[in-house]
Amino acid sequence: MGLLDGKTALVFGVANDHSIAWGIARALNDAGATVGFSSVESLIEKRVRPLAASIGADFVEPCDVQSDDQIRDVMAKWRARHGELDVLVHALAFARREDLDGDFIDTSRDGFSLAMDVSAYSLVALAREARSLMHPGSSILTLSYYGAEKVVAHYNVMGVAKAALEASVRYLAADLGPDGIRVNAISAGPIRTLAAAGISGFKKLYGSFAEVAPLRANITPEDVGGTALWLCSDLASAVTGEVVYVDGGFNVM
C-alpha cells in the first residue's frame, strides 16, 4: 500500500530531470499517486512529455503562470480528466539574471514585479483556480529558500519574492483551512538545477554548503521528494501554513 494510493497530483515546474519538481513527482508517483504535469510551452515536447512518459503519466499541459487564462485552461482540462485534485505542487520561480547580480538596491520596478508575479503571485492564482477541485485532505505545496528570511548574496529580488511566497502560504492556509485544504512550503538547501544556475555565486554557495550544514551533505531532489510526500500525505494531516526546512540543518547554524 502506497501513502498516496488512489490520489492525484498536479505538478507545476518540471524543466528537466534535475528539477526539484521532478524529484517531488517521482516521490508522489512511487507512493501510488497519479501524477500530471504542467510547464511552460517551450519545455513540453522536448523535456516534460518524455519524463512524464517514463513514469506512465500522460497529462502534460502547457501553462505560463503569468496568464490567468492558461491557468484556468489547465485546471479545466484536469477537471475533465480527473474530476478532483488531491495534491498541487508549485515548484517554479523566475527573476531576470541582471536582478540576481549586483546590488539589490538596483532592482528595477519591472524586474521586481516580474519576480513577484511569477514566483509568488502564481501560487495564489493556482490555489484559487484549484480550490474547487480540492476537498478535505487535499494539499498544496510550494518551494522556498533561506534567502526569504536572511540576506543571501546575489539572491536579491528572489529573496523578497520568496518572503512574499512564504507569507502567501500562511494566508492561503488560513483561507483554505476551513475547507480542510492544507498549504505548506519546503525551504530547500541549494540544489544544482537550471534555475539555480541563474544565480551568480551559486557554485560557491553550493560548494561550501556541506561544510556548514550539520548533516555535512548537499541536498538532493530526492531529499525534497521525501518531505514533499510526507507533507502531501495524511501523515501531515494537522500541518498547514508551515515552512519546513529540508537543508541538512543549515538554517540553525
The correct pick among 3, 55, 118, 125 for binding ligand NAD (CB under 6 A) is: 118
- Of 8-16, 100-108, 176-184, 233-241: span binding ligand NAD (CB under 6 A): 8-16
**Total chain residues near ligand NAD (CB under 6 A):** 28
Measured distance CA(237)–CA(136) in Å, rounded: 10
* DSSP letters spanning 237-253: TT--S-EEEESTTGGG-
Residues identified as active-site = 145, 155
Positions in 129-148 near ligand NAD (CB under 6 A): 143-145
**Any idea what DSSP says for residue 76?**
H
- Residue 66 or 251 having the CB closest to ligand NAD: 66
Measured distance CA(206)–CA(228) in Å, rounded: 22
Measured distance CA(75)–CA(176) in Å, rounded: 18
Q: Which residue has the cell 521528494?
A: 225
- Of 29-37, 81-89, 97-105, 190-198: span binding ligand NAD (CB under 6 A): 190-198
Q: Where are the alpha helices (DSSP H) in the chain?
A: 20-30, 41-43, 49-54, 68-82, 109-116, 122-130, 156-176, 194-197, 202-212, 221-232
Positions in 80-109 near ligand NAD (CB under 6 A): 91-94
CB 13, min distance to ligand NAD, A: 4
Helices 68-82, 122-130: crossing angle, 10 deg rounding: 30
Site string for ligand NAD, 28-67 (x = CB under 6 A): -----------xx--x-------------------xxxx-
Q: Is 200 in the site for ligand NAD (CB under 6 A)?
A: no
- Of 11-19, 53-61, 78-86, 225-233: span binding ligand NAD (CB under 6 A): 11-19
Query: What's the sign of the alpha-carbon dihedral 181, 238, 92, 95?
Result: positive
Other beta carbons less than 10 A from residue 82's beta carbon: 15
CB 99, min distance to ligand NAD, A: 14
CB 125, min distance to ligand NAD, A: 11
CB 65, min distance to ligand NAD, A: 4
In the chain, the amino acid numbered 29 is N
Residues forming contacts to ligand NAD in the complex (CB under 6 A) are 13-15, 19-21, 39-40, 43, 63-66, 91-94, 118, 143-145, 188, 190-191, 193-196
